[in-house]
Amino acid sequence: MGRPIVAIVGRPNVGKSTLFNRIAGKRIAITEDTPGVTRDRIYAECEWLDNYFTLIDTGGIEPKSDDIILQQMKRQAEIAIETADVILFIVDGKNGITANDKDVAEILRKSHKRVLLICNKMDFYVDNNNMFDFYELGLGEPISISSTEALGLGDLLDDIVENFPEDCDTEVDTDLIKIAVIGKPNVGKSSLINKILGQERVIVSDIPGTTRDAIDTFFEKGDKKFVFIDTAGIRKRKKIFENIERYSVVRAFAAVERADICLMVIDVNEGVTEQDTKIAGFAHDNGKSIIVLINKWDLIEKD
């Protein structure tokens, strides 16, 4: 069996991405007091006491929403649940149990996976009485933590490691070939990765900016191991308005810096733009090899 996989799930805005960043040891997922900031599954390779595992952050689950993006986020979370060995179900201990928590708990009970119920936001000043309400979710004893204050994380990591299947490989992995997929918004970067992997790994929509984080996807071909990094589309600075999108662009540039190779995706209908040359220039200045891909060729009118 391969490296153990740990998935973080829960309703929106309970602190999933903050916990993810704490365990990963760096800010990978965007954190903001806005529900729905994390949309795709975000992966990080983590280690605790010489035990290596893959950690997955997911978007907030809203089972009864009709919004197309929220439905796709739910599907991404369900895929993470299906592939995980251990699931961290995050609830908000400060504000107490909600109907949405109960809906997510029902999904997790049906998965028959190992679930740790994590009561987050339990800072020094929070009334612990809220914790007792979470027993009714039927997922065992709640584990009290505060991801923002880093309280209880050591004990939590001990519990995570203890729940790994016995046949998992927790030793350090070999070096991976890191490939960043870069380009302007909505040129087909996520569709390209999904096609290569043969699965709906990344949310795809005609809405520009659907991908917000830089998303790592691990992939094996023969004896070769790769990491595809799908990045948020890089826009001109004057077009970057909200904080979340600004963070996304920073993530995209950081993804280029840690990549070995960059796949530059260009929309054939738009041709090579000034923004494309700037993105390619940034990759070149960082000493990265670049493969240029001309996408949406099927949409060109034939003579």
Alpha-carbon gap, residue 54 to 11, rounded angstroms: 21
DSSP run (H or E) holding 6: strand 5-9
Tens-binned pLDDT, residue by residue, of the chain (303 aa): 467 889 999 998 899 989 999 998 865 555 444 444 445 567 777 889 888 888 888 888 887 777 777 777 777 788 788 888 999 999 999 888 999 999 999 999 999 999 999 999 988 665 667 788 899 999 999 999 999 888 999 999 999 999 998 876 666 555 678 888 888 777 888 788 778 877 654 433 333 333 444 566 777 778 787 888 766 545 444 444 444 444 445 556 767 877 889 998 888 888 888 778 877 888 888 898 999 999 988 887 765
- The per-residue pLDDT for 214 is 53
Angle at 176 between CA 175 and CA 178, to 5 degrees: 135
Q: Are residues 110 and 158 in the same domain?
A: yes
Domain annotation covers residue 170: no
pTM for the complete prediction?
A: 0.61
User: Of 127, 162, 197, at which residue does a domain stop?
Assistant: 162
Domain annotation covers residue 293: yes
CB-hemisphere CA count at 13 Å for 272? Answer: 8
Q: Are residues 155 and 182 in the same domain?
A: no
Q: Are residues 138 and 224 in the same domain?
A: no
Q: Are residues 118 and 218 in the same domain?
A: no
User: Of 138, 162, 186, at which residue does a domain stop?
Assistant: 162
In total, how many domains does the chain have? 2
Q: Are residues 226 and 83 in the same domain?
A: no
CB distance 160 to 86 below 8 Å: yes
Chain CA centroid to CA 257, Å: 19
Domain annotation covers residue 168: no
Domain annotation covers residue 91: yes
Q: Which of 19, 25, 92, 26 is nearest to 57 (CA)?
A: 19
* Domain housing 294: 177-299
Q: Which of 85, 59, 63 is nearest to 202 (CA)?
A: 59
Q: Are residues 130 and 204 in the same domain?
A: no
What single DSSP character describes residue 82?
A: H
Q: Are residues 149 and 254 in the same domain?
A: no
Alpha-carbon gap, residue 121 to 151, rounded angstroms: 9
Domain annotation covers residue 146: yes
Q: Are residues 24 and 127 in the same domain?
A: yes
Domain annotation covers residue 277: yes
Q: Are residues 276 and 186 in the same domain?
A: yes
User: Of 101, 130, 162, at which residue does a domain stop?
Assistant: 162
Q: Are residues 118 and 262 in the same domain?
A: no
Q: Are residues 16 and 149 in the same domain?
A: yes
* CATH code where residue 69 lies: 3.40.50.300
CB distance 214 to 251 below 8 Å: yes
Domain annotation covers residue 171: no
Helices (H), 186-262: 189-197, 243-258
Q: Are residues 137 and 280 in the same domain?
A: no
